[in-house]
A and B are shown apart, each in its own frame.
Chain A
Amino acid sequence: MHPPPTPAPLLRASHLVKRYGDTEVVSDLSFEIAPGECLGVIGPNGAGKTTTIRMCLGLTTPDAGHIHGMGLQMPQDALAIKAQLGVVSQMDTLDPDFTCAENLLVYGRYFGLKDAEIRARTPDLLEFASLTSKAQARPGELSGGMKRRLSLARALVNDPRLLLLDEPTTGLDPQARHLMWERLQLLLQQGKSILLTTHFMDEAERLCDRLLVLDHGRKIAEGRPRDLIAQHLEPDVVEVYGVGALALQDSPLRALAARVEVSGETVFFYTANAAALLQALQAHPQLRTLHRPANLEDLFLKLTGRQIREEA
């Protein structure tokens, strides 16, 4: 199976290094984003995700390495590159004194767009963000999800080719997240490219064509979500929890799994053949079991560890 020849990447980062003092927060990081692609960057807090996005925007100068975007080079062409980007940062930077419509107008002007041009686009942008009825509301009157969608609409004001989204759904309730996902999928269908950082593995699995797993500033895995799971994990997971579950990790059941992990009160059995294990577990009716396919969360935890980190 050979994919068709890939077109020139929209954005290419090669061998990026960023140090703050003695700490290397990004180490020899290279990646590309193809037109129409959604690239997910996942990693624990402090993995270097935001620093990477800031370097792509020319807001942080790499200590080594290069970034090319849309045929231009950072940092000398930073403004010309940013003219073709849409950015949603981790923290909303909406103007609290302006209505939703004014937020779009003022932001569009930063791109050199004419007022008439922006005003003509405003109804569509607000509709896209499901904020038509809130055109005259100020951000303070909006819910968290509405604010994020207004930030997304604002990032689209210049009709960018590539969107850089830094944790676009962090802090949102499930309904607001699903609406955001739906909008992002719509953008991908329209042919836009997205670079997305996230903590949510379901989000990464649902939206991203390809994933970059970062830890301590290093790329520790890269590939399609399903391929990564198949490559790194056994296909089945049996989670066992309840009183006495922890004792199972040293029991004969261990031999029925390829790999066993413990997190908190739960024992995770990773296996290619769950049937034998599930049958053996019937001898422990007091325990609760959950049989499911391996997912990205398992991959993430395998690659970056289950321990809570001090810096997290």
Chain B
Amino acid sequence: MKTGADHALSTRASGTNPSPWRAPRLSWRFWPVFLRNLLVWRKLAIPSLVGNIAEPLMWLVAFGYGMGALVGKITVAGPDGPTAVPYILFLASGSVCMSAMQAASFEALYSAFSRMHVQKTWDGIMNAPVGLDDIVLAEMLWAAFKSLFTVTAILGVMLALNISHSPKLLVAWPILLGVGITFSCIALIFNALAQGYDFFTYYFTLFLTPMMFLSGVFFPLEQLPHAVHVVADWLPLSSAVQLVRPLFMDQWPQDALRHLAVLAAYAVVSFWIALALTRKRFRL
């Protein structure tokens, strides 16, 4: 029976669940979780790599060379005024950002969901001294790492095809890691909300696909009506493209700080939301 002063005291002493929006508790304990995913992936790396880079490269070759022959050159605004570039270069610089986005999203949705919900891997890990916050951090960094790996392979093929040989591509590489991080964070929000894999179809078709068309991957943003352009300019993929494309052209991006800040803001806010929703899901 819940009577007596003793019980009343303990009721007051313990209280209810802390807010899911409390500050993240992140630590080095994320590392063995990251290593776990790496070990699984090492076993499946080659087939997964083929899948990850074959599709974007097919798009690139078909559209870049096929459409490129029709389109000819495209004018891109730069620090030294408008520059005309081959369509294949225009498309390659945008599609590498798109690949970073898709690889990170795919891993942080389907694969993370398998580990979290289907295989109960997270539950097993939480029986050991690793907290949920560190697991979410590990999943986020893992998806970003995997996306970076895909992007690196695609960049390698682009170099081999001689699409760009700008030395500034070295700078594009860490930026693309940042793009992977941003999209992992966003995807983990939807992972936290998902009841099944079907849910992710909505995310891809209603969120990522429109963003692909509104972020200047396939055609310049200036083609869009002004109102759409203004909104599109603040999409994370737009910022990614506007950072990476000039580097392909051996130029420095304009408004680089603003675009980096946009990506960072999406990443931080999304990670926090993802963490809070995941804590709610696990009632922690």
With contacts A97-B40, A97-B43 taken as known, whether A59 is within 8 angstroms of B284 at the C-beta atoms is: yes
The answer to whether A110 and B129 have CB atoms under 8 Å apart is: yes
| A155, B124: Cα distance in complex, Å | 10
Which of B6, B16, B32 lies in contact with A15, CB distance below 8 A? B6
B144, chain A: closest CB distance, angstroms: 21
Which residue from B1, B36, B123, B130 sits with its C-beta under 8 Å from A95? B36
Q: Mark B17-47, 1 if CB is under 8 A from A, else 0.
A: 1100000000001001101100110011000
Question: Considering the chains assembled together, what is the distance between the CA atoms of A60 and B132 in angstroms?
Answer: 12
Q: Per-residue CB proximity of B113-131 to A under 8 Å, as 1/0?
A: 0000001110111111111
A28 touches B2 (CB 8 A): yes
A93 touches B120 (CB 8 A): yes
In Å, the complex CA distance between A223 and B33 comes to 41
Interface centre among A64, A78, A87, A158 (most CB of B within 10 A): A64
Interface residues of B in 116-175 (CB under 8 A from A): 119-121, 123-131
Bound: A109/B120 CA distance, A: 18
* A28-B7, A60-B283 known; A82-B127 Cβ under 8 A: yes
A-B contact sample (12 more), CB < 8 A, given A17-B2, A61-B18, A79-B130: A15-B10, A66-B13, A79-B129, A91-B120, A93-B127, A95-B119, A95-B124, A97-B44, A106-B36, A110-B29, A110-B33, A155-B127
A111 at the interface (CB under 8 A from B): yes
Quick one: which of B13, B44, B121, B128 contacts A111, CB cutoff 8 A? B128
Chain B positions within 8 Å of A96 at CB level: 119
In contact, A62 and B126 (Cβ under 8 angstroms): no
- B14 in contact (CB, < 8 A): yes
Chain B residues bordering chain A, tally (CB within 8 A): 36
Cβ distance B187 to chain A, nearest Cβ, rounded Å: 21
| Interface-centre pick from B1, B121, B128, B282 (highest chain A CB count, 10 A) | B128
Given A95-B40, A109-B35, A111-B129, residue A64 in contact with residue B10 (CB < 8 A): yes
Bound CA span A112–B33, Å: 11
Q: Are A106 and B39 closer than 8 Å at their CB atoms?
A: yes
Q: Is the CB of B126 within 8 A of A59?
A: yes
Residue of B nearest to A87 (CB): B127
Tell yes or no: A80 within 8 A of B by CB.
yes
Cα of A134 to Cα of B25 in the assembled complex, Å = 38
Can you list the 8 inter-chain pairs with the closest CB atoms, starting with the nearest?
A93-B124, A110-B128, A109-B32, A87-B127, A79-B129, A64-B11, A82-B129, A83-B129
Can you identify 21 A-B contacts, CB atoms within 8 angstroms?
A: A17-B2, A28-B2, A61-B18, A61-B283, A64-B7, A80-B129, A82-B127, A82-B128, A82-B129, A89-B124, A93-B119, A93-B124, A95-B36, A95-B40, A96-B119, A97-B44, A107-B128, A109-B32, A110-B125, A111-B129, A158-B128
A65 interface residue per 8 A CB criterion: yes
* Distance of B119 from chain A, by nearest CB (Å): 6
Given contacts A98-B39, A110-B33, contact A17 B127 (CB under 8 A): no
Cβ A65 vs Cβ B125 within 8 A? no
A111 / chain B contacts, CB cutoff of 8 Å: 128-129
Report the minimum CB–CB distance from B190 to chain A (whole Å). Answer: 23
Q: For residues 229 through 280 of chain B, which have their beta carbon under 8 Å from a beta carbon of chain A?
A: none
In residues 34-67 of chain A, which contact B (Cβ within 8 Å)? 57, 59-66
Report Cα–Cα, A216/B36, bound state, in Å: 39
Contact, CB under 8 Å: B129 / A66: no
Chain B residue at minimal CB-CB distance from A79: B129
Give complex CA distance A111, B32 in Å: 9
